[in-house]
Chains A and B, each alone.
Chain A
Amino acid sequence: MNGARLQHRSRVRGARRLGSWLLRVVQSRQRYTTGAVLAIAAKDLRIEARGRYAAGMAVPFAATLLIAFGLSLGPGRTLLEATAPGLLWLAVLFAATLLARRAWESEAEDGALEGLVLAPVDKSAVFAGKAIALSVQLLALEVAVLAMVAVLFGLPVAGNPPVLAAALVLGTVGLAGISSLFGVLAVMPRSREAVLPLLVMPLATPALIAGVKATALATAGRGGDAGAWLGLLAAFDLVLAAAGLLVFEQLVED
């Protein structure tokens, strides 16, 4: 009994310490400028709206990927339906790396990245702005990808729309965050282009698995069982957001 009580007290102390640490992190980010975050996100979305990179490149890329997978799996309807959630998320992951690369390329074209680094704002604002803009672009792209998967693979998207939407939003935020965080490395001096997929693909695996599982359950009409996977996606997003806010400055500063 005493042992259990001690364990409980220890857990409470641990939780308090974690809470206190998080509070200190938030307080240390007082310079964090919401205006700068929104300005960076709006700037990226405006550039995307004018360049139409997502519509012109990422959507055709996702369509080609889905068709290629569909052809390689053969005509069996059951197999196509079973693999559809996985193919949906693979298409989104590949599109996320493409779009993140494009977003950072626009910063590298005429030294704009140095301008962001030299701006007197917390560098985590740059990460947050980039991730928000990429999330919006990915969510727009997912509407098209979801329609393609429904038509090509017979995925029943009307199974449990709220759970499916939650899975897509939570998974998208995570993938956008991780792609934005490491996307900057692809355009840094002395770095290589391949660094983005090499870092993003393995680190995105937890979000990919949870996204696939939650999507499969939602489309099978068993959305009530997807709680744990949605929780994992939310936890992934929180950890990634905290990591991004803390380490992004180290990635971009000399």
Chain B
Amino acid sequence: MGRAGAAAAAVSLSRLTRVFGTQPAIVGVDLSVQRGSVVLLRGPNGAGKSTLLRVIATALAPTYGGGSVLGFDLVRERDQVRRRTELLGHHTRLYEDLTAVENLRFACALYGADVRVVAEALERVGLAEVGGERVTGFSHGMRQRLALARGLLRGPELLLLDEPYAGLDAAAKTMVDQVVLAARTAGHTVVLATHEPVREGLVTATVSMEAGRVLREPATVPEPVR
């Protein structure tokens, strides 16, 4: 595991600020997320939750401040962070003209994952029967599930979920919960941003954000899964 294994915190941010033009999206965020925890990010629209998740995923660089993810520096070692992190955001990042299987195989090629896990990933999200169909005919919920399957291909140590329940039916929401629980059971870390109520016992800590600032630090000791 090396350095990644040695680091106690999955995410450690110090005075992190991200500015778009002249508009600050997150300001002076200090945050520590312990390994194996499931942290819920709460806050109104525009609080900076999505920006924070994208900075942790290294999709955005911090304007000021910095931090580490799984023991790797957010800026200088972003490839190491990316190898171990999966961000499921507002966009599904799927190619409409490709089939579900082709989308996942392409992801395997980019991430160096074994293509033999594709069938299992589709099975887990209930899309095994439509694996050969093009994504262009998929509903929003099916696309979300396929994006979730892509996130499962390589078992990321840190899973970042931005509004994962949006537009999903009850069965698909339960599927998301199962993925989160499975990640936690495997000792992986999940940071989840949602406006919707979450299942009891799913999260181990809550972080509230408002106007780009973190209002409360998460609990440091994960609770056992019930």
Any A CB within 8 A of the CB of B9: no
Proximity string of chain B (54-69) to chain A, C-beta cutoff 8 Å, 1 when within and 0 when not: 0001111100000000
Alpha-carbon distance A157/B1, docked complex (angstroms): 62
Binary contact readout A117-142 vs B (1 if CB under 8 angstroms, 0 otherwise) = 11111000000000000000000000
Contact of A43 among B58, B91, B95, B96 (CB under 8 A): B95
Instruction: Evaluate contact between B110 and A36: CB separation under 8 angstroms.
Output: yes
Interface residues of A in 35-68 (CB under 8 A from B): 35-36, 38-39, 43, 46-47, 50-51
A46–B97 CA distance with the chains assembled, in angstroms: 8
What CA separation (Å) do A89 and B97 show in the bound complex?
Answer: 30
The answer on a CB contact under 8 Å between A51 and B97 is yes
Q: Interface stretch among B81-89, B116-124, B181-189, B214-222?
A: B81-89
Say whether chain B's binding surface is mostly helix, strand, loop, or mixed.
loop
Interface residues of B in 36-63 (CB under 8 A from A): 57-61
Complex interface: chain B residues within 8 A of A74 (CB): none
Q: How far is the CA of A118 from the CA of B158 in the complex (A)?
A: 14
| CB-defined contacts of B177 to chain A, threshold 8 Å | none
Are B109 and A35 touching (Cβ within 8 A)?
yes
- Asked if A46 contacts B90 (CB within 8 A), the reply is no
Say yes or no: B109 contacts A36, CB within 8 Å.
Answer: yes
Interface size on A, residues (CB 8 A): 26
Assess A43 versus B98: contact at CB under 8 Å? Given A121-B110, A254-B61.
Answer: yes
> Which chain A residue lies CB-closest to B143?
A110
Instruction: Report the minimum CB–CB distance from B66 to chain A (whole Å).
Output: 14
Contact B97 A120 (CB under 8 A): no
A51→B61 CA distance, assembly (Å):
35
**Is there contact, CB below 8 Å, between A111 and B93?**
yes
Does any Cβ of B come within 8 Å of A112's Cβ?
A: yes
Which residue from chain B places its CB closest to the CB of A107 in the assembled complex? B95
- Given A116-B110, A120-B111; A47-B59 close (CB under 8 Å): no
Select B97's contact among A33, A47, A116, A121, beta carbons within 8 Å.
A47
Secondary structure of the A side of the interface? helix
Assign chain B's interface to a size class.
Answer: 20 to 34
Determine which of A36, A117, A120 lies in contact with B59 in the assembled complex, contact meaning CB atoms within 8 Å.
A117
Question: Is B210 in contact with chain A by the CB < 8 A criterion?
Answer: no
- The 8 A CB mask of A151-162 against B (1 = contact, 0 = none) is 000000000000
Q: Write out the residue numbers on chain A whose beta carbons fall within 8 Å of the beta carbon of B95.
A: 43, 47, 106, 112
At the interface, yes or no: B79 with Cβ under 8 Å from chain A? yes
Residues of B contacting A50 with CB < 8 Å? 97, 134
Bound: A31/B80 CA distance, A: 12
Instruction: Point out the residue from B57, B92, B109, B110 that lies within 8 Å of A111, measured CB to CB.
Output: B92
Q: How far is the CB of A252 from chain B (nearest CB, A)?
A: 11
Q: How far is the CA of A25 from the CA of B8 in the complex (A)?
A: 36
A111 engages B111 (CB within 8 Å): no
State whether A254 and B97 are in contact (beta carbons under 8 Å apart), knowing that A35-B109, A119-B111, A121-B110 are contacts in the complex: no
- Interface residue? B4 (CB, 8 A): no
Across the interface, A114 reaches (CB within 8 A) one of B59, B102, B110, B134, namely B59
- Cβ proximity bits A218-232 to B, threshold 8 Å, 1 near / 0 not: 000000000000000
- Extra 8 A-B pairs, beta carbons < 8 Å, given A47-B97, A112-B94, A254-B60: A31-B79, A47-B98, A50-B97, A111-B89, A111-B91, A118-B57, A118-B82, A254-B59
